[in-house]
Amino acid sequence: MKTYLVGGAVRDKLLGIPVKDHDWVVVGSSPDEMKKKGFKQVGKDFPVFINPKTGEEYALARTERKSGHGYTGFEFDTNPNVTLEEDLYRRDLTINAIAQDENGNLIDPFNGQDDIKNKKLRHVSDAFSEDPLRVLRVARFYAKFDGDFVVVPATVDKIKEIVESGELEHLTPERKWLEIYKAAEKDLGWFFDFLITHNARDRLFPEIQDEPHTSSINYPICPEDATKIERISVPLCNWIRNPESIESFCQNLKVPNEYKSLALLLSNCYEEYVGYLPNCIEEYDSLLSLIKKIDIRKKDRLNSFMRCAYQAADRISDVKIHKVFFENLIKNINNFKLSDEDQKKPGLEIKNIIENAHREIAQDAIRNFLNKSDQSHT
């Protein structure tokens, strides 16, 4: 029994990128032997085990044979005679088919180190075209390296073969979403651009447009320290553009609500929000309508929305005034509390009291803004 570090950990170490996860392949063992050593089996399709001390994944070396459609249509052989080279042969790209033994020696039968040095994305074998998921994986690695790695012509041909085979249609919504989620470590624009260039977009994500909505000044920008939700929601807003298509995209891929919610909020309200500054006291209704659409009760989403809005500060007239105006307005609305006496009144009366209070707060905010504006011009 021999154990090797494989895949992303070896690749990222060679690239000088911080290593996040360690995956291991075990040669010359069996499920029974792994269990006797205290490993816990978790894999359903093929034997994967968790090291009880480190929590890292250990997979038995295996070979694959295509037996059906999609990325799950494979039969696996994990007998103890499967060699390390046979296991590496089934992997997608040469840069991911490098192993490291317990002494730190590299095993690189497909010259992945050369492709890392020359910034090439190259498939390992002809079996590449049997797995449609690999189109998304190559797109993800293209994005990971900010488009700086070139897909070699032979691999481009393999991608074309997969696209034309119809196999992409067999990818599950959950798996497609997972690849988007993983790709969002970097700019998702590279990921979408790759799929468009290689004619995979229409079969995977037809709602995505040919280019992002960046020809207008009214589009949100991710903060440099963006959260994962912001890294996904902002590109969805910019690349899909309209709320109906965002809704369709999220429904088709079963996108978690927190991502869909922010993408829809940006699509529906961003342009109106960054363009708003009051001109007269009578505008309180439109201001309250905007506040209602933003829904300031959802504080985490509101914070992300405003972060993305003020990231493009040069697009907002009098940005400091704009930010102070809305921050104070939102704070005053949130600080309003019903009196003990009002809380005992019927529901409709309570609703009217809250609406009247919010109206007065909005009117005061506009009045103060206009007074300061007049003073600055005198």
**Averaged pLDDT, 107-117:** 98
122: alpha, beta or left? (left if phi > 0; alpha if psi -120 to 50): beta
Residue 58 has pLDDT above 70, yes or no: yes
Measure the CA–CA gap between 303 and 312, rounded to whole angstroms. 15
CATH topology of domain 1-118: Beta Polymerase; domain 2 (3.30.460)
Are residues 38 and 52 in contact, defined by beta-carbon separation less than 8 angstroms?
Answer: yes
The first and second tokens of residue 154, run together, are 């032979």
What is the pLDDT at residue 65? Answer: 77
Are residues 289 and 295 in contact, defined by beta-carbon separation less than 8 angstroms?
Answer: no
282: alpha, beta or left? (left if phi > 0; alpha if psi -120 to 50): alpha
Residue 85 has pLDDT above 70, yes or no: yes
What is the pLDDT at residue 20? Answer: 87
Measure the CA–CA gap between 173 and 176, rounded to whole angstroms. 5
The first and second tokens of residue 152, run together, are 């070699």
Instruction: Give the pLDDT band (50/70/90) at residue 282.
Output: confident
How far separated are the first and last CA of the chain, in Å rounded?
Answer: 85
The candidate with the shortest Cα–Cα distance to 272, out of 234, 326, 203, is 326
Q: How many CA atoms, within 13 angstroms, populate the side-chain half-sphere of residue 106?
A: 17
What is the pLDDT at residue 376? Answer: 60
Are residues 109 and 97 in contact, defined by beta-carbon separation less than 8 angstroms?
Answer: yes
Sign of CA dihedral 63, 67, 70, 75: negative
The first and second tokens of residue 22, run together, are 């360690």
What is the pLDDT at residue 21? Answer: 87
Measure the CA–CA gap between 48 and 2, rounded to whole angstroms. 15
- Tokens 């494979």 belong to which residue? 74
Residue 149 has pLDDT above 80, yes or no: yes
**Averaged pLDDT, 293-305:** 94
**Averaged pLDDT, 215-238:** 86
Instruction: Give the pLDDT band (50/70/90) at residue 72.
Output: low
The candidate with the shortest Cα–Cα distance to 137, out of 96, 108, 88, 189, is 96
Instruction: Give the pLDDT band (50/70/90) at residue 70.
Output: low
Which three-class secondary structure state does DSSP give residue 106? strand
The percentage of residues in the chain with a pLDDT greater than 70, rounded to a whole number, is 92
**Averaged pLDDT, 287-315:** 89
Instruction: Give the pLDDT band (50/70/90) at residue 378.
Output: low
* Angle between helix 347-376 and 284-294 (nearest 10): 120
Least confident of 156-170, 204-218, 255-269: 204-218
Are residues 262 and 305 in contact, defined by beta-carbon separation less than 8 angstroms?
Answer: yes
The candidate with the shortest Cα–Cα distance to 204, out of 233, 261, 232, 163, is 163
What is the pLDDT at residue 364? Answer: 94
Residue 45 has pLDDT above 70, yes or no: no
Are residues 60 and 87 in contact, defined by beta-carbon separation less than 8 angstroms?
Answer: no
State the burial class of residue 79 (Cβ atoms within 10 Å of its Cβ: 0-12, 13-18, 19+). exposed
Residue 217 has pLDDT above 60, yes or no: no
Residue 315 has pLDDT above 80, yes or no: no
Residue 226 has pLDDT above 60, yes or no: yes
Which three-class secondary structure state does DSSP give residue 48? strand
The predicted-structure confidence for 345-376, as pLDDT tens digits, reads as follows: 999 999 999 999 999 999 999 999 998 876 66
**Averaged pLDDT, 17-40:** 92
The first and second tokens of residue 176, run together, are 């497609």
- Tokens 């447009």 belong to which residue? 209
pTM exceeds 0.85 for this model: yes
Measure the CA–CA gap between 134 and 159, rounded to whole angstroms. 8
